């Protein structure tokens, strides 16, 4: 366990908490919102057992990192990631992003290139864009973001309960692919996040990554669940594959948004096959 300092807010440093375990090629895991790095638990042990060095970190405002009231935009979040990769002097690393984490990795490549990278993995991707358009009618618009942010302000805990149900498709998978205990742990992580950070991050959903992903020049895997109720497979996974036709693309049948939990075996199989090439 360690921390890296990525800035200051008034009199206090902004520090990112990270864990760095194992030997071998480095794999860096970028978590989703409003969760933290502990959400990668179903992937960490298989990656370590396969001989990888596994690095997880908490985004600013989440988990055990600092909780500032600034910096919740992808330029800053990508800069935070750059500090971590630079401080650890990682080379030939694989970035694995999930949901909001895919925005960080796309913007990182757009700003800093791929000199430190060997591979990329996008799981339930925001890229190429999540904003509603003719090409993406399932996306979100500014009014939709406003509604989410207001719901967070009105009753963040009730809002999170409803969102988590659709993250995991609990009406289909509770007691089958996900336990009540796992749901409770995920709920606790989201509830423990900074209220400000939770409220601020949805504005990033309107960002565009078309220019960023044009700089991708390393082997890339795209994983998307066919039952994702948050980032639709038509609007996100298939559009990203169309933008990156040389990438390996795999749809996980029945996978919801947080399929790294409900469909961990399927996700891990595809991850390890890609990493071991």
Q: State pLDDT tens for residues 144-176.
A: 999 999 999 999 999 999 999 999 999 999 999
Please tell me which residue in 31, 224, 241, 257 is annotated as part of the active site: 257
The active-site residue out of 37, 65, 66, 99 is: 99
For 232, which DSSP code?
A: -
State the pLDDT confidence band at 34, using cuts at 50, 70 and 90. Answer: very high
Catalytic-residue membership of 257: yes
Distance CA 260, CA 237 (A): 15
Q: Which residues contact 196 (CB under 8 A, 6 or more apart)?
A: 61, 67, 69
The predicted structure's pLDDT at residue 89: 98
Q: What is the mean pLDDT of residues 71-100?
A: 98
Q: What is the pLDDT of residue 233?
A: 98
Whether pLDDT at 1 is above 90:
no
Contact by Cβ (8 Å): 168, 262: yes
How many residues does this entry show for the chain?
277
Helices 264-275, 41-49: inter-axial angle, 10-degree rounding: 40
Q: What is the pTM of this model?
A: 0.98
| Residue 8: per-residue pLDDT | 98
Residue 131: what pLDDT?
A: 97
3-state secondary structure of 253: coil
241 has catalytic annotation:
no
Indicate if 80 belongs to the active site. no
Angle at 216 between CA 17 and CA 123, to 5 degrees: 55
Read off the pLDDT of residues 216-253 as tens digits, 9 standing for 90 and up.
Answer: 999 999 999 999 999 999 999 999 999 999 999 999 99
Decide if pLDDT at 194 tops 90.
yes
Domains of the chain by residue range: 2-275
Mean pLDDT of the chain: 98
Give the integer Cα–Cα distance in Å for 276 and 152. 41
- Which residues on adjacent β-strands are paired with residue 56? 19, 29
The angle that helices 74-87 and 100-112 make with each other, rounded to 10 degrees, is 70
Helices (H), the chain: 41-49, 74-87, 100-112, 142-167, 170-173, 180-192, 195-200, 210-213, 238-243, 259-262, 264-275
How far is Cα 224 from Cα 189, in angstroms, rounded to an integer?
23
273: which 2 tokens?
């096959």
Each residue of 195-220: pLDDT tens digit?
999 999 999 999 999 999 999 999 99
For the domain with range 2-275, which CATH number is right: 3.40.50.720, 3.40.50.1820, 3.40.50.300, 3.40.50.1100?
Answer: 3.40.50.1820
Choose the catalytic residue: 228, 232, 241, 263.
228
């Amino acid at each position: 366990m360690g921390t890296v300092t990525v800035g200051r807010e008034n009199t206090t440093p902004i520090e990112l908490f990270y864990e760095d375990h194992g030997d071998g090629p480095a794999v860096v895991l970028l978590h989703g919102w409003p969760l933290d790095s502990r959400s990668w638990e179903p992937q960490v042990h298989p990656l370590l057992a396969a001989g990888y060095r596994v690095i997880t970190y908490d985004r600013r405002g989440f988990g055990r990192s600092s909780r500032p009231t600034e910096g919740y935009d992808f330029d800053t979040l990508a800069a935070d990631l750059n500090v971590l990769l630079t401080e650890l002097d990682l080379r030939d690393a694989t970035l694995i992003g999930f949901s909001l984490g895919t925005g960080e990795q796309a913007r990182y490549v757009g700003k800093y290139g791929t000199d430190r990278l060997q591979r990329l993995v996008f799981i339930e991707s925001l890229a190429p864009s999540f904003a509603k358009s003719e090409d993406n009618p399932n996306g979100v618009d500014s009014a939709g973001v406003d509604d989410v942010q207001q719901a967070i302000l009105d009753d963040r805990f009730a809002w999170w309960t409803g969102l988590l149900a659709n993250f995991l498709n609990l009406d289909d998978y509770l007691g089958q692919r996900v336990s009540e205990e796992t749901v409770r742990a995920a709920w606790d992580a989201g509830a423990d996040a900074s209220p400000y950070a939770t409220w601020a991050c949805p504005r990033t959903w309107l960002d565009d990554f078309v220019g960023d992903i044009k700089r991708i020049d390393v082997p890339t895997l795209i994983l998307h669940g066919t039952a994702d109720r948050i980032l639709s497979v038509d609007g996100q996974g298939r559009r990203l594959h169309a933008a990156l036709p040389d990438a390996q693309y795999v749809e996980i049948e029945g996978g919801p948004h947080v399929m790294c939990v409900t469909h961990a075996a399927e996700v891990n199989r595809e991850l390890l096959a890609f990493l071991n090439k």
